[in-house]
């Protein structure tokens, strides 16, 4: 006896069920494609038709070692991935320059733990906060195209409480923060259009 299934009151052989599902999927794809849905590209353009951007190393006004290199490197990578414009680390020979200062970096405990054999309390999770000032300057006339003097980004990290296996998680947290900051800033600047 041949297996069948019921569709709208009609009995169809099971082999046709697969063919029916394939045809239904094709029809749905054709309908969705005809409705104007398109995959949006993630590449953007610099504002005012600029074709090149320089991202020199940000100024580090803190005592945090190498934070300016981590953030500037993340920006160079993110802008290179998200635009076809020429991106480099120089402030000469470009249409615009992205200038920045890292004003403050601090880590504060947000969760606490205690040792089993004592009454000492320690921070077990921290929140690292970086405050920056950034501006996009057109080179030919030194016009400030975009600026934000009060950018604040935060990243949480958990401290390994075993002294024997201790590894500072602050630097990996700062690298994650730098990638998040770079993605956010690239989105703002590449989405900006001339007035």
User: For every residue of 153-164, which 3-state class applies, written as one string?
Assistant: EEEEEECCCCCC
Q: Which domain holds residue 22?
A: 4-34
pLDDT of residue 35: 52
Q: Are residues 172 and 133 part of one domain?
A: yes
What DSSP designation does 4 have?
E
Residues contacting residue 166 through CB under 8 Å, at least 6 positions apart: 160
Q: Are residues 13 and 102 part of one domain?
A: no
Residue 43, phi then psi, degrees to nearest 5: -85, 140
Q: Are residues 126 and 80 part of one domain?
A: yes
> Terminal CA-to-CA distance of the chain, rounded, Å?
73
Tens-digit pLDDT profile for residues 125-164: 888 999 999 999 999 999 999 999 999 999 988 876 655 5
Nearest to 185 by CA among 177, 195, 194: 177
pTM value? 0.70
What DSSP designation does 188 have?
H
Question: Is the Cβ–Cβ distance between 45 and 85 less than 8 Å?
Answer: yes
Nearest to 138 by CA among 99, 177, 103, 191: 99
CATH number for 109: 3.40.50.10610
Q: Is 76 helix (H, G, I), strand (E, B) or coil?
A: helix
Question: Is the Cβ–Cβ distance between 157 and 128 less than 8 Å?
Answer: yes
Tens-digit pLDDT profile for residues 96-107: 999 999 999 998
Q: Are residues 28 and 72 part of one domain?
A: no
Give the count of domains, the chain.
2
Looking at the predicted structure, is the pLDDT value of residue 13 above 70? Answer: no
Strand 4-7 vs strand 10-13: parallel, antiparallel, or unpaired? antiparallel
Domain membership flag for residue 40: no
């Amino acid at each position: 006896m041949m297996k069948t299934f019921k569709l709208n009151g009609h009995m169809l052989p099971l082999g046709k069920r697969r063919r029916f599902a394939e045809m239904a999927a094709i029809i749905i794809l054709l309908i969705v494609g005809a409705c104007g849905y398109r995959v949006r590209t993630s590449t953007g353009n610099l504002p005012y038709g600029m074709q090149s951007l320089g991202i020199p190393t940000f100024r580090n006004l803190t005592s945090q070692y190498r934070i300016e290199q981590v953030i500037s490197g993340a920006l160079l990578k993110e802008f290179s991935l998200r635009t076809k414009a020429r991106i480099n680390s120089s402030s000469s020979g470009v249409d615009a320059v992205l200038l920045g200062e890292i004003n403050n970096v601090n880590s504060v405990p947000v969760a606490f733990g205690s040792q089993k054999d004592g009454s000492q309390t320690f921070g077990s999770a921290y929140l690292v906060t970086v405050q920056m000032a950034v501006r996009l300057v057109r080179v030919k006339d030194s016009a400030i195209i975009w600026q934000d003097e009060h950018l604040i980004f935060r990243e949480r990290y958990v401290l390994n409480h075993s002294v024997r296996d201790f590894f500072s998680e602050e630097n990996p947290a700062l690298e994650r923060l730098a990638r998040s900051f770079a993605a956010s800033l690239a989105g703002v600047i590449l989405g900006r259009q001339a007035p």
